[in-house]
C-alpha cells in the first residue's frame, strides 16, 4: 500500500508541479516525488520496518525530514513522527493520525479551510474509521474543495491573488487525495 501511494505521487509529479506553478513556486510535485522515491528505495532496501507501525512511522518521519524540501517535508515529518510516538504509547492508527494532525496544526499553524494539504488530510482522518475507501473519498472531496477557495490562510498560496486561486486545487491537498486513492486500491 505504501509503495502504491509512492508510485501514485511519482506519476503525478508533472501535474502537481503544474498546479503549484499556479499558486506556489512550482515544485510541489517534485518535492512529493522525491519523498516517494526515497520511501520506495528504503522499502526495497529493507530500511523501513513495515511490520512494526510505531517504528515504521517514526522512521518515515525521519526519512522525509532528510529528503523532502519545503514546508511539506517538514510538516509530513512532524505528522509521521508524531504518529509513531503515539502508536508506541498504544494508540490505534486512526488515533495516531489524529494526534499527528494536531501536531502539524500546532507547529504549522494551518487549519481546515486554509487551502493546504490539511483540507484533504483532516476529512480523510475523520473518515478513516469507516475504512480506507471512505477516507479516500473524503480526501478527494477535501482536495476538490480547495479549488473553490479564494483565500489561502497559510502556505505560498497566501501570497497569491484571490483570482488566481479560484479553480486551482491546492497541490498538497491533491497529493494527499492521490495518495489515499492509491492506499484504497
Name the phi and psi angles at 116, rounded to 5: -135, -175
For the chain, counts of helices (H) and of strands (E): 10, 0
Query: Is the pLDDT reported for residue 161 higher than 90?
Result: no
Mean pLDDT along residues 92-111: 95
CA distance 101 to 118: 8
List the single range of 20-24, 39-43, 60-64, 172-176 with lowest mean pLDDT.
Answer: 20-24
SS3 assignment for 8-74: HHHHCHHHHHHHHHHHCCCCHHHHHHHHHHHHHHHHHHCCCCCCCHHHHHHHHHHHHHHHCCHHHHH
List the single range of 1-15, 61-75, 170-184 with lowest mean pLDDT.
Answer: 61-75
CA-to-CA separations, 165 to 123, 139, 150, in angstroms, rounded? 21, 19, 5
C-beta neighbour count of 181 within 10 angstroms: 20
**pLDDT number for residue 131:** 97
Pairwise pLDDT comparison (49 vs 164), residue with the higher score: 49
- Contact call for residues 32 and 63 (beta carbons, < 8 A): no
**pLDDT number for residue 164:** 67
At 102, list the grid cell.
494536531
**pLDDT number for residue 159:** 55
**pLDDT number for residue 51:** 85
pLDDT digits (tens, 9 = 90+) for 138-151: 999 999 999 887 66
Residues 6+ apart with CB under 8 A from 144: 169, 177
R_g of the chain, CA atoms, integer Å:
15
pLDDT digits (tens, 9 = 90+) for 54-98: 999 999 999 999 999 888 899 999 999 999 999 999 999 999 999
Query: Is the pLDDT reported for residue 157 higher than 80?
Result: no
pTM above 0.95, yes or no: no
Only one residue has cell 499527528, namely 100
Specify the 3-state DSSP secondary structure of 84. helix
CA distance 12 to 174: 9
Amino acid at each position: 500500500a505504501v509503495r502504491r501511494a509512492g508510485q501514485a505521487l511519482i506519476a503525478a509529479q508533472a501535474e502537481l508541479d503544474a498546479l503549484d506553478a499556479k499558486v506556489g513556486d512550482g515544485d510541489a510535485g517534485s518535492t512529493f516525488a522525491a519523498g516517494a522515491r526515497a520511501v520506495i528505495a528504503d522499502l526495497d532496501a529493507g530500511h523501513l520496518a513495515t511490520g512494526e507501525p510505531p517504528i515504521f512511522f517514526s522512521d518515515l518521519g525521519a526519512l522525509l525530514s532528510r529528503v523532502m524540501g519545503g514546508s511539506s517535508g517538514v510538516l509530513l515529518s512532524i505528522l509521521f513522527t508524531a504518529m509513531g510516538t503515539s502508536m508506541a504509547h498504544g494508540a490505534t492508527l486512526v488515533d495516531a493520525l489524529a494526534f499527528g494532525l494536531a501536531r502539524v496544526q500546532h507547529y504549522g499553524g494551518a487549519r481546515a479551510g486554509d487551502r493546504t494539504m490539511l483540507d484533504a488530510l483532516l476529512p480523510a482522518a475523520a473518515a478513516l474509521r469507516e475504512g480506507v475507501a471512505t477516507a479516500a473519498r473524503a480526501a478527494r472531496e477535501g482536495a476538490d474543495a480547495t479549488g473553490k477557495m479564494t483565500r489561502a490562510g497559510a502556505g505560498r498560496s497566501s501570497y497569491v491573488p484571490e483570482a488566481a486561486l479560484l479553480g486551482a486545487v491546492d497541490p498538497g491537498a491533491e497529493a494527499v487525495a492521490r495518495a489515499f486513492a492509491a492506499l484504497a486500491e
